[in-house]
Amino acid sequence: MKRRLSPVISAEAQEIGNNISLYRRMSRIPLAQLAERANISADTLSRLERGDAGVSIGAVLSVCRVLGLDSFIIKATEPSNTAYGRAQLQAGVPQRVR
């Protein structure tokens, strides 16, 4: 049974897909060529560009690496980039959360 995602998550997945599609087209890389370079199927890349949130994070990262966007994703998820993250890092991060 396929899990339904919230409308917000669906919209964000679609926006990310649109951005990846735009970046690919600006780079003048055909869909099939980008899929081959990222070692994924053209169908998977097409689903990603349409905003299918079921595409694996591995596939997303592979495409982003080929497009040169991987470092931006890493930086975007770095906790020290937000005030909350900096405060939590300063307070100390537990090894485990129960």
- What are the residue boundaries of the structural domains of the chain, listed by start? 7-67
| Domain boundaries 7-67, CATH class | mainly alpha
Alpha carbon distance 23, 43 (integer Å): 18
The identity of residue 48, as a single letter, is L
Tens of pLDDT, residue by residue over 23-81, are: 999 999 999 999 999 999 999 999 999 999 999 999 999 999 999 999 999 999 999 99
Of 12-21, 31-40, 56-65, 86-95, the poorest mean pLDDT is in 86-95
The CA–CA distances, whole Å, from 60 to 28, 55, 70, 97 equal 19, 7, 9, 28
Residue 35 tokens read as: 């899929």
28-36: long-range contacts, CB 8 A cutoff, minimum separation 24: 29/66, 29/67, 34/63, 34/66, 34/67
With 90 as the cut, is the pLDDT of residue 2 above it?
no
